[in-house]
Amino acid sequence: MQQYDVIIIGSGQAGNPLAMKMAKAGRKVALIEKRALGGRCVNDGCIPTKAMISSAKIAYLSKTSATVGIHNKETVIDMPAIKQRKDTIVERFNKGTKRNLARYKDKLDIIMGEATFTGKKELSVAMNDTGETIFLKAELIFINTGTKPLVPDIPGLATSTYLTATTLLELEEVPKRLLIIGAGYIALELGQLFARLGSDVHILEASPDFLDREDRDVANCLLNIMTQEGLHIQTGVHIEKVTQKEKESITLSYRKEKDKRTHTITGTHLLVAAGRVPQTASLKPAASGIKLDGKGYIKVNNRLETNVKGIYALGDVHGGKQFTHLAYNDFAIVYRNLIEGKRLSKRNRLEPYCVYTDPQMAQIGLSEDEAIAKGIPVDIAKLPMKIAARGITTGATQGMMKALVDPKSKKILGACIIAAEAGELISVIQMAMQGGLTAEDIRWSIFVHPSYAETFVTLFNDVL
């Protein structure tokens, strides 16, 4: 049994920086990874998808360039080249990850294999290369194993050649007709991506409401944008079975809500994007006494510690919003608490996110629905992006801005933006909220003209 000061299970966006910081602090660290260093974000999540989305955006601009006076005879989609560019970018990040970790090799052991708890703070690891099993233990253990695609229990699905958000990125041809089960953030990003490359995209969602976690005006705004671009989106769909007679012919049989008639739709490819589940089953956390919730996520307190003292869970594996930047903040909380003696918590932290559709959808803080449910009084500022000077000059007029303001203090309580570069714009709101600035402060600020950010002046004038 090998003794370490720290064991980190999972080389994601919390695990890697934590491993390096702990090693730098003089701790003997074991970093266990069963698949690829960098985790989902680097290998088949944020980085590769945004690389391919950028290719699709250029294809879209090429096809629609006549609207700004530029005429192209033909836009040629070279899917192998798009994939190669994506792979090159991923490789660049992989090399950077390995290079950074190697700087701490005197204190940091990288172990490629699958970890399983065998007792309290004890683990076995089935090694990828040799197949042998080694045993480790440590007083501090951090779990950063993330999630994997949920494959729903639909008759015929398991025997069909379906794709996931991971395997879809490996295609070297554009699907002629892409069927997608699920209409969440991942489904929308990938659906629009392939629609812009030439796929006929059909999205089927079980929930009766599109993006049911968002305010209705926000969800409907994005739905209209997606459908106007040619994506076919149905909600309230119950899929009864999947049938595949040949390689590129997959049929879904389904019923619509309150409709007893069975419908069918056939595509050349099927993407399953119906959600994600935590990677805890093979870890066997119960062997160490770690408690899980009903969905298999690891229970943690506000300092990310499990019910077992000295064992922490970071990132998607403990549930909540599943975004890379939140996993990184989890690392910051535990590292600064344990090494710097801070008393940081994830309670009440601002958790911004951005969906990389085009236009992007970004959100932070309180939504209108949440305010109503909690009985919090708010003033609501809202405007369409078609009045933004920068949007008009660039042709990016789709979307909206919406902000919630405290009626008395005028502090900003939340915002949602659908716009070009909404991910950047939401950071302006985040900084204002963190700094305690009011809607009035932003209303009377000087912004560069013409910029998307200056639209905040008009937005907040609505509640003053």
* Residue with tokens 């049929």, as numbered in its chain: 251
- Torsion angle of the four alpha carbons 361, 207, 151, 315, in this order, in degrees rounded to the nearest 10: 40
How far, in Å, CA of 140 to CA of 4, rounded? Answer: 9
> Is 449 a catalytic site residue?
yes
Strand segments (E) across 150-231: 177-181, 200-204
Specify whether the CB–CB gap between 8 and 31 falls below 8 A.
Answer: yes
How far, in Å, CA of 269 to CA of 200, rounded? Answer: 10
Active-site position among 232, 318, 325, 449: 449
How far, in Å, CA of 163 to CA of 74, rounded? Answer: 30
How far, in Å, CA of 326 to CA of 319, rounded? Answer: 11
Report residue 232 as tokens. Answer: 């076919």
Angle between helices 216-228 and 185-197 (to 10 degrees): 20
How far, in Å, CA of 9 to CA of 14, rounded? Answer: 10
- For the chain, the residue count is 464
Neighbours of 25 (CB within 10 A): 15
Q: Which residues contact 403 (CB under 8 A, 6 or more apart)?
A: 380, 381, 382, 412, 414, 415, 429, 439, 459, 460, 463
Q: What is the arrangement of strands in the sheet containing 360-365, beginning at the earlier edge strand?
A: 353-355, 360-365, 412-419, 400-405, 379-384
Q: Which residues are catalytic?
A: 449
